[in-house]
Structure 1
Amino acid sequence: METSLLTCVIHKVEQLTMYCLDHSQLCCSTCVELNHRLCLQVTPLPQAATGKSTNFKNLSVSMENTLSQMKQCQTYQEDRMKSLKVSYKEHEGLIVDGLRVNIVSYLRKCETSTVNTTHEHMQYPISEMREGIKNLLADFEKSTIKEKKEELNLKQAPLKVLRNSCIRLHYELFHLHVAIPKVLGKPELSFIASKKCLENIQQSDIFLKENFPNHVFTVNGKSVHNVKMPSDSYICWITAVCALPNGQVLVADRFNKKVKLLSQQYRVVSHLDVRDEPRDMCLITPTEVAVAVHDEVQFITVSQSQLAKSRKLKLQHECTGIAHNQGDLYICSGTALYKFTLSGKLVSWLYGDTSADSTVKKCAVSPTGDRLYIISYWQHKLLTLARDGTLLASYTDPALGGPLGLHVTPAGQVLVCGWGSLTVLQVGWEGESKLATLATWRDGVMNPWSVCYSSTTSSIIVGLCDHDIIDSIVVFRVE
């Protein structure tokens, strides 16, 4: 244990002998020679450790928290790899079905051509059929399955790197955690252990922030913006918010039956009337959104700060919520969740609950498409589903009353707001626990109906449906 603590993490054959206060780094003689020759405060370790004390109790708590998050991050990366594998197998099944259709079609063609062939002349057509099927299988294996396996390996490779980084950082910090009780009373070793722990925790925090969706937002400011237009006949109830990559924001105004484009300063610069009350909205491309309007999906494009309607998808049921991921549309009917293609073809029914109204009110999808989230309004629940609709988790909380707003950030963080509880919460990507209450009625969140995160402006935008703070959105600056 002492040997491990005294070993330089950069130059593995060297022992730590110095401490650079300028860079707050432990150094071996090679470190000093290469990187710290110009530093003014490089002192021998015994001298640096003299009189220094560390609150190891607080440090131990920090380490335990970081270790827990690293383990969760490892599980998250492994789940993503499994999800890709499942997706590949589903796709492989479709390819195999296609091959089966091709073979059946080929056999029918051969059968037709041999109907009038006499018995003694059938040997040649049968040999030809066998060769044809063999060629179909060979082409299939070479061009399709091999290609998809290579694609799967390419997609899984960076996830394996992240998973392995989690394991390495966890391993290093765990051994430091074990070492701390054994070095108490040994000033020099205690000093080294504390510095190594702090450095490892810092590295882990940076890694988690960049690669794990359970990074918790911190609110550091807010502003309120009125989005009412002179032509509006009713109070603005903002049922959906979409943040565009250029910093502009789209809001759906339910009772005025409008979609409004806001500038980067959150002023209305353009609007478009829709046929009925808009219930939800999702981003399709950086310049196109899909709007849930009663029993249809209206696509709207944004160009030079102007809105224009494009195509529509007519549905056989209501559309209360909508989300998009990698060419797939997920649509809520109020009691069921369906998966569609962008062209409007129904792919599958994923989940349903007819025990009450608004059990499948709105939906969102993780960036990798491996988790689906839905909110059940009257049951006060956030549900987490697998890609195929299997229920993975059900979350309830007194702070989540009547959930209406739901959003997943590009990094996978889950935001949900309670219309009745007057709250905006951040929930873990597993959908099992609350990470933070980001805002309440004390912060001006009155009957929040929609929520969205803008990575361009590092802000959370909340659409309100309230008679006190009317016609407004609240913007929280976060980090």
Structure 2
Amino acid sequence: MQYLSQLSGLGKIEHYAQSLIAVGNADRIIRIDGKSENNVSFQGDSICTILDICVLPSGQVLVVDQNNKKVKLLNQQYLLLSHCSVSGKPQYMCQITPSEVGVTVGSEVQFIKVNNNQLVKDRKLKFQHGCYGIASHQGDLFVTSGTELYNYSLDGKLVSKLHENKSVTGRERSCAVSPTGDKLYITNYNQDKLLTLARDGSVLSIFTDPELGCPACVHVTPAGQVLVCGWKSNTILQIDSKGSRSLATLATKRDGLWSVCYNSNTDSIIVGTIINKILVYKVK
């Protein structure tokens, strides 16, 4: 408490307290208690492939439907509210503000806002490389190109190239950042790996497991728990915060699991599939 009193500004105190909470709970194993299914197909859609999911502070949920080239908005009960089409096949997204997300499409990041239960396309950032995984933390934007991980500012200025995979078979896909911003997680889809990087891009650990085939999505909860979705293995694994070992297998399914996201509003895990629906797992 003496240290807290010496900090200048409420924001610093809150950040410090959140850091303590994240460190304390990052390796707490998630327990599942019940599951429900929700259809996310609009009339006229072909088969929906839910490649990524984002839960806003309001409790509203956005999903990336890659096959139909759409971003869809769901309410707190996971009922469809609206959607918007994008110029190409969307890949991944991340929250930028409480009502805005950034979505990777081709070589662009498309910003989309929620306004009165409608999705509104805003500005775009264009890059000289393809855009796949995306994450943000305190004004920094992290984007994977397939073989590299870049750090940009929110206005698209290059800060640094943090990582490069020089293997001809490597394919860096999804990325996520720890709540305190000190670690970055990226999935290598082709090599069945999860990489954990320090903030300067140095590799802290490389995780592989027979239960993790073609990791398509990595997500970090507000407490720092690391969740990885294996598309080929059809599993959701919880990995320790160091990225070194598996803590639990949270879900297995034959429907083709593509994405995972923790909903702190309802204490549940949302899993996207390739056959029109999301699965909602209640956490004990």
Structure number with higher relative contact order (C-alpha < 8 Å, ≥ 6 residues apart): 2
Distance 2:226 2:212 in 1: 13
Distance 1:237 1:354 in 2: 29
Q: Which residue of 2 aligns with 1:220?
A: 33
Q: Which residue of 2 aligns with 1:477?
A: 282
Please point out which of 245, 255, 269 is paired with 1:460.
Answer: 269
Distance 1:220 1:423 in 2: 17
Please point out which of 257, 262, 274 is paired with 2:74.
Answer: 262
Q: Which residue of 2 aligns with 1:361?
A: 173
Contact 1:334 1:357 in 2 (8 A): no
Q: CA deviation at 1:155?
A: 6.0
Question: 4+ runs of 1 displaced by more than 4 Å?
Answer: 154-159
Distance 2:264 2:283 in 1: 10
Q: Is 1:253–2:65 an aligned residue pair?
A: yes
Distance 1:157 1:428 in 2: 22
- Return closer, same or farther for 1:150/1:274 CA change in 2, 3 Å cut-off: same
| Structure 2: runs of 5 or more not aligned | 1-6
Q: Is 1:381–2:213 an aligned residue pair?
A: no
CA shift digits 1:259-286 (9 cap, x unpaired): 0001112111100010000000101111
Distance 1:209 1:367 in 2: 7
Please point out which of 205, 208, 211 is paired with 2:24.
Answer: 211
Q: CA deviation at 1:360?
A: 1.3
Please point out which of 21, 36, 44 is paired with 1:231.
Answer: 44
Contact 1:405 1:448 in 2 (8 A): no
Distance 1:157 1:416 in 2: 26
Q: Which residue of 2 aligns with 1:287?
A: 99
Q: CA deviation at 1:308?
A: 0.2
Q: Which residue of 1 aligns with 2:217?
A: 405
Q: Which residue of 2 aligns with 1:307?
A: 119
SS at structure 1 position matched to 2:172:
coil
Between Structure 1 and Structure 2, the one with more helix by share is 1
Q: Which residue of 1 aligns with 2:3?
A: none
Please point out which of 267, 270, 275 is paired with 2:87.
Answer: 275
RMSD over equivalenced CA pairs, Å: 2.0
Distance 2:226 2:111 in 1: 25
Which residue identity lines up with residue 455 of structure 1 in the other structure? S
Q: CA deviation at 1:244?
A: 1.3
- Return closer, same or farther for 1:150/1:245 CA change in 2, 3 Å cut-off: closer
Distance 1:377 1:210 in 2: 28
Q: CA deviation at 1:359?
A: 2.5
Contact 1:363 1:375 in 2 (8 A): yes
Which residue identity lines up with residue 225 of structure 1 in the other structure? N
Q: Which residue of 2 aligns with 1:414?
A: 226
Q: Which residue of 2 aligns with 1:431?
A: 243
Q: Which residue of 2 aligns with 1:15?
A: none
Distance 1:157 1:222 in 2: 34
Q: CA deviation at 1:231?
A: 2.5
Corresponding pairs, count? 275
SS at structure 1 position matched to 2:136:
strand
TM-score (norm 2): 0.92
Distance 1:453 1:318 in 2: 27
Contact 2:65 2:72 in 1 (8 A): yes
Contact 1:375 1:403 in 2 (8 A): yes
Between Structure 1 and Structure 2, the one with more strand by share is 2
Contact 1:418 1:447 in 2 (8 A): no
Identity of aligned residues (%): 53
| Structure 1: runs of 5 or more not aligned | 1-148, 163-207
CA shift digits 1:111-148 (9 cap, x unpaired): xxxxxxxxxxxxxxxxxxxxxxxxxxxxxxxxxxxxxx
Distance 1:158 1:351 in 2: 28
Contact 1:209 1:215 in 2 (8 A): no
Alignment map for 1:156-195 (pairs within 5 Å): 158=16
- Return closer, same or farther for 1:453/1:156 CA change in 2, 3 Å cut-off: closer
Q: Which residue of 2 aligns with 1:347?
A: 159
SS at structure 2 position matched to 1:211:
helix
Q: Is 1:326–2:138 an aligned residue pair?
A: yes
Distance 1:150 1:377 in 2: 43
Alignment map for 1:35-184 (pairs within 5 Å): 158=16
